[in-house]
Amino acid sequence: MPTLPRLLLTAVLSFSLCLPGFAAKEVEFVKGERSASDLEQDVDRKGQQVLELVDLKPGMVVADVLGGGGYYSELIAEKIAPYGRVYLHNNRAYLPHVGKEVAARLKDNRLENVIRHDRETDDLAFIDQSLDMIFFILGYHDIYHVDKNWKIDRDDFIRQLKTALKPGGHLLIIDHSAPDGSGTKYSQDLHRIDKAYVISELKQKGFKLIKESDLLVNDKDSREISPFHPDIRRKTDRFILLFQK
In tens, the pLDDT along 161-178 reads 999 999 999 999 999 999
* pLDDT at residue 8 greater than cutoff 50: no
- Main-chain dihedrals φ then ψ at residue 16, nearest 5 degrees: -60, -40
Are the C-beta atoms of residues 190 and 232 closer than 8 Å to each other? Answer: no
The closest of 215, 85, 96, 191 to 139, measured between CA atoms, is 191
* pLDDT at residue 184 greater than cutoff 50: yes
Q: How confident is the model at residue 5 (pLDDT cuts 50, 70, 90)?
A: very low
State residue 119's pLDDT score: 98
Give the mean model confidence (pLDDT) for residues 129-152: 96
Q: How confident is the model at residue 15 (pLDDT cuts 50, 70, 90)?
A: very low
- Main-chain dihedrals φ then ψ at residue 236, nearest 5 degrees: -65, 160
Under DSSP, is residue 49 helix (H, G, I), strand (E, B) or coil?
helix
Q: How confident is the model at residue 27 (pLDDT cuts 50, 70, 90)?
A: confident
CA distance 106 to 24: 19
State residue 212's pLDDT score: 98
How does pLDDT run across 42-92, given as a tens digit for each residue? 999 999 999 999 999 999 999 999 999 999 999 999 999 999 999 999 999
* pLDDT at residue 1 greater than cutoff 70: no
Strand partners, 211: 242
CA distance 22 to 69: 7
How does pLDDT run across 194-232, given as a tens digit for each residue? 999 999 999 999 999 999 999 999 999 999 999 999 999
CA distance 25 to 95: 15
Q: Is the pTM of this model over 0.85?
A: yes
Strand partners, 20: none
State residue 45's pLDDT score: 96
